[in-house]
Amino acid sequence: MNIRWEGDPAALAAGIRELAPGLGIAETEDGMPVRAERSPEEDELTVAVEEGPDGSRGYIRYGRKHQFFRGLGLLAQHGRAGKAFRIEERQRLRTVGPMFDLSRNAVLAADGWRAMLGKMALMGLNTVMLYMEDTYELAGEPYFGYMRGRYSAAELKEIDDYADQFGIEAFPSIQTLAHLEEFLKWEPVKAYKDTKGALLVDDERVDALVERMIDAATAPFRSRKLHIGMDEAEEVGRGKYLDRHGYKDRLHIMTDHLARVLAATRRRGLKTMMWSDMFLKLASAGGEDYYDKNTRIPEEMARLVPKDVDMVYWDYNHLEQDDYRQLIDRHRPLGCNLAFAGAVWIFNTFGVNYGLSLRATDSALTVCKQEDVGEIYATMWGDDGNESNPFLALLGLQYYAEHAYADGSPEWQRVAERVKFVTGIDADAFLRLRYLDETPGSEPDNRKQSNPSKFLLYQDVLLGLFDRQIEGLPMSAHYAELEKAIAEGRDAAAELDYLFEVPQRLCAVLKLKSEIGIALKQAYDAGDRRRLRQIAEKELPAIADAVQALRAAHRDQWHGMFKPFGWEVLDIRYGGVTNRLDTAARRLIAYADGRLPRIEELEQERLVYSGANRFNNGGVGWSSFYYRMATPNVFYHVLNPF
**Confidence (pLDDT) at 638:** 60
**Confidence (pLDDT) at 621:** 94
Q: What average pLDDT does the segment 482-509 reach? A: 98
**Confidence (pLDDT) at 349:** 97
Closest residue by Cα to residue 577 from 549, 612, 613: 549
Q: DSSP 3-state assignment of 215? A: helix
Q: What average pLDDT does the segment 29-41 reach? A: 94
Whether the full predicted model's pTM is greater than 0.95, yes or no, is yes
Q: What average pLDDT does the segment 205-225 reach? A: 98
Instruction: Give the pLDDT band of residue 316 (cuts 50, 70, 90).
Output: very high
pLDDT tens readout for residues 428-458: 999 999 999 999 999 999 999 999 999 999 9
Instruction: Give the pLDDT band of residue 96 (cuts 50, 70, 90).
Output: very high
Q: What average pLDDT does the segment 510-518 reach? A: 98
Q: What average pLDDT does the segment 155-172 reach? A: 98
Evaluate if residue 16 carries a pLDDT over 70: yes
Cβ atoms within 10 A of the Cβ of 192, count?
A: 20
Cβ atoms within 10 A of the Cβ of 518, count?
A: 20
Mean pLDDT of the chain: 96
Closest residue by Cα to residue 351 from 431, 456, 441: 431
- Compute the distance between CA of residue 24 and CA of residue 146 in angstroms, rounded to an integer: 43
**Confidence (pLDDT) at 286:** 87
Crossing angle (nearest 10°) for helices 110-123 and 540-561 = 80
Amino acid making up residue 384: D
What value, to the nearest 5°, has the Cα angle with vertex 394 and ends 625 and 459? 20
Evaluate if residue 11 carries a pLDDT over 90: no
Instruction: Give the pLDDT band of residue 635 (cuts 50, 70, 90).
Output: confident
Q: What average pLDDT does the segment 328-334 reach? A: 97
Q: Can you list the positions of beta strands (E) in 412-506?
A: none
**Confidence (pLDDT) at 155:** 98
Which residues does residue 193 pair with via DSSP β-bridges, in sequence order?
Answer: 199
**Confidence (pLDDT) at 641:** 54
CB 184 within 8 A of CB 196: yes
Most distant CA atoms of the chain, gap in Å: 92
* Domains of the chain by start residue, with CATH: 2-90 (3.30.160.230), 95-414 (3.20.20.80), 437-630 (1.20.120.670)
CB 41 within 8 A of CB 96: no
C-alpha dist (Å) from residue 394 to 41, 343, 433: 29, 12, 12
Instruction: Give the pLDDT band of residue 53 (cuts 50, 70, 90).
Output: confident
Crossing angle (nearest 10°) for helices 501-513 and 540-561 = 160
- Compute the distance between CA of residue 10 and CA of residue 23 in angstroms, rounded to an integer: 19
**Confidence (pLDDT) at 455:** 98
Evaluate if residue 639 carries a pLDDT over 70: no
Percent of residues, the chain, with pLDDT higher than 90: 94
Burial (CB count within 10 angstroms: exposed 0-12, middle 13-18, buried 19+), residue 460: buried
Radius of gyration of the chain (CA): 26
**Confidence (pLDDT) at 102:** 98
438 Cβ neighbours under 8 A, 6+ residues apart: 353, 355, 445, 446, 450
Sheet with 32-38: list strands edge to edge. 26-27, 2-7, 32-38, 55-62, 44-52, 85-90
Percent of residues, the chain, with pLDDT higher than 70: 99
CB 90 within 8 A of CB 408: no
Q: DSSP 3-state assignment of 623? A: coil
Burial (CB count within 10 angstroms: exposed 0-12, middle 13-18, buried 19+), residue 68: buried
Sign of CA dihedral 559, 565, 566, 570: positive
Q: What average pLDDT does the segment 467-491 reach? A: 97
Closest residue by Cα to residue 193 from 140, 244, 262: 244
Q: What average pLDDT does the segment 121-136 reach? A: 98
- Compute the distance between CA of residue 171 and CA of residue 223 in angstroms, rounded to an integer: 6
Evaluate if residue 612 carries a pLDDT over 90: no
Q: Can you list the positions of beta strands (E) in 217-337?
A: 225-227, 271-275, 309-314
Q: Are strands 55-62 and 44-52 parallel, antiparallel or unpaired?
A: antiparallel
Q: Are strands 2-7 and 26-27 parallel, antiparallel or unpaired?
A: parallel
CB 461 within 8 A of CB 601: no
Phi, psi of 97 (to 5 degrees): 175, 175
**Confidence (pLDDT) at 626:** 97
**Confidence (pLDDT) at 640:** 58
